[in-house]
C-alpha cells in the first residue's frame, strides 16, 4: 500500500451510525449495543464502528463546564476526574478522530434514566489548556476541545464561491490534499478555525479536479456549471453520513446533487455509499492517471 494512503481500521461494509438531531436515545441499547464503545466514560471510542461518542451534561461536579458559543462551536472538557488531564484514551481519540476516519457524535444527558439527546456531529478544531478544579477541588491542567458542527462546514463547503487553485497538476493537488489531511490535533496547531477549513478546501479541490466534471457515482457530467464556469459537483464524505469535515481524499467523492442526496436519503443509500467507497479505494490505490 502506498505510504500516502490510510489503512482503514474498519471494513468498508461497516454500518455507519446515523442519528436524528434532537431525538432522545438510550445509551446502552441504542448506541453501545449497536455500535460499541464503553458505557461509563464521557468519551466513548468504539473499536467496532467508525465513531466516537461524546456525552455532556453530567460532569459539573467534576469541574467540567461544556458550552456552545454564538456560532455553534462546542467547548468540551476532556476526560479525567483527578490530576492533570493527558492526551490518552478518550482525549487522544477526540484529538485524532479525523485522521482515524472516525465521526464525533455529541449527546446531552437529560436526566438519570431519561436518555441522551442528540446534538449533532462535530469535528475537532483545536484545543486550549486551562486551570480548573478536579473532583477534589484541587487545581489541575485541563483540556478544552473546540468542536465545530459538521453542518456548518457543510454549508460553507457547498456555498463556497472560491474556485480551486488554477494551474496545478492533479498529482500536485493530490499531494496538497494528503498533506492537509495528515494535519491533526497532535500537532497542536494554533491557527484556529482556519485549520479545518483549509484542510476541507484542500481535499475538496482535489476531488473536484479528480472527477473532471463527472459524478463519481453515476459517472454522468455535472448537471450545470457554476457562475465561474466550472462544473457543479458536491463533495461527499463516505466515512460518515453527513457531509463536511476534513478527511483523507480516499474517503471523499465528488457527486452530482441527485446522487449526493440519494447516498444520504435514498432507499438504497447504504449500498450506494458502499459502492462509492469501493470505487474510491481503487481510484486512490492507483493514484492520478
pLDDT tens-digit series, residues 208-246 = 899 999 999 999 999 999 887 889 998 887 765 343 344
Pairing of strands 51-56, 103-109: parallel
**Closest CA relative to residue 257, chosen from 268, 243, 247, 240:** 243
User: Which one, of 217, 270, 277, lies nearest residue 248 by Cα?
Assistant: 277
- CA–CA gap between residue 113 and residue 105 (Å, rounded): 20
Task: Give the pLDDT of residue 31.
Answer: 95
Q: pLDDT tens digits for 41-70?
A: 899 999 988 899 999 986 555 556 789 988
**Contact 91/85 with Cβ under 8 angstroms?**
yes
Residue linked to cell 438504497: 268
Separation CA 285–CA 270 (nearest Å): 22
Express each pLDDT in 129-188 by its tens digit.
Answer: 999 888 888 999 999 999 988 777 666 666 565 666 567 888 888 888 777 765 544 444
For residue 277, name the pLDDT band (cuts at 50, 70, 90): confident
CA dihedral for 94, 100, 102, 103, sign (positive or negative):
positive
C-alpha cell read off for 15: 454500518
CA–CA separation, 53 vs 281, rounded Å? 26
For 227, phi then psi, to 5°, come to -70, -10
Distance (Å, whole) CA 84 – CA 63 = 12
Residue tagged 461536579 (cell numbers): 61
Amino acid at each position: 500500500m502506498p505510504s500516502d494512503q490510510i489503512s482503514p481500521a474498519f471494513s468498508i461494509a461497516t454500518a455507519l451510525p446515523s442519528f436524528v438531531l434532537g431525538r432522545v436515545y438510550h445509551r446502552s441499547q441504542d448506541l453501545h449495543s449497536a455500535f460499541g464503545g464503553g458505557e461509563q466514560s464521557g468519551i466513548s471510542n468504539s473499536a467496532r464502528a467508525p465513531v466516537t461518542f461524546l456525552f455532556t451534561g453530567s460532569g459539573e461536579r467534576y469541574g467540567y463546564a461544556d458550552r456552545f458559543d454564538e456560532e455553534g462551536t462546542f467547548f468540551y472538557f476532556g476526560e479525567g476526574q483527578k490530576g492533570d488531564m493527558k492526551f490518552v484514551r478518550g482525549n487522544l481519540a477526540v484529538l485524532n478522530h479525523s485522521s482515524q476516519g472516525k465521526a464525533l457524535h455529541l449527546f446531552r444527558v437529560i436526566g438519570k434514566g431519561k436518555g441522551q439527546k442528540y446534538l449533532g456531529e462535530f469535528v475537532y478544531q483545536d484545543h486550549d489548556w486551562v486551570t480548573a478544579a478536579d473532583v477534589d477541588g484541587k487545581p489541575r491542567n485541563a483540556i478544552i476541545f473546540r468542536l465545530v458542527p459538521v453542518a456548518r462546514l457543510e454549508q460553507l463547503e457547498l456555498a463556497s464561491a472560491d474556485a480551486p487553485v488554477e494551474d496545478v497538476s492533479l498529482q500536485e493537488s493530490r499531494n496538497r490534499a494528503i498533506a492537509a489531511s495528515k494535519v491533526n490535533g497532535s500537532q497542536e496547531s494554533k491557527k484556529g478555525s482556519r485549520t479545518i477549513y483549509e484542510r476541507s478546501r484542500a481535499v475538496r479541490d482535489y476531488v473536484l479536479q479528480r472527477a473532471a466534471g463527472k459524478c463519481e457515482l453515476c459517472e454522468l457530467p455535472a448537471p450545470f456549471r457554476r457562475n465561474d464556469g466550472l462544473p457543479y459537483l458536491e463533495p461527499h464524505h463516505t466515512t460518515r453520513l453527513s457531509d463536511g469535515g476534513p478527511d483523507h481524499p480516499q474517503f471523499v467523492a465528488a457527486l452530482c446533487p441527485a446522487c449526493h442526496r440519494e447516498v444520504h436519503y435514498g432507499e438504497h443509500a447504504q449500498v450506494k455509499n458502499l459502492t462509492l467507497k469501493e470505487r474510491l479505494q481503487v481510484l486512490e490505490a492507483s493514484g492520478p492517471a
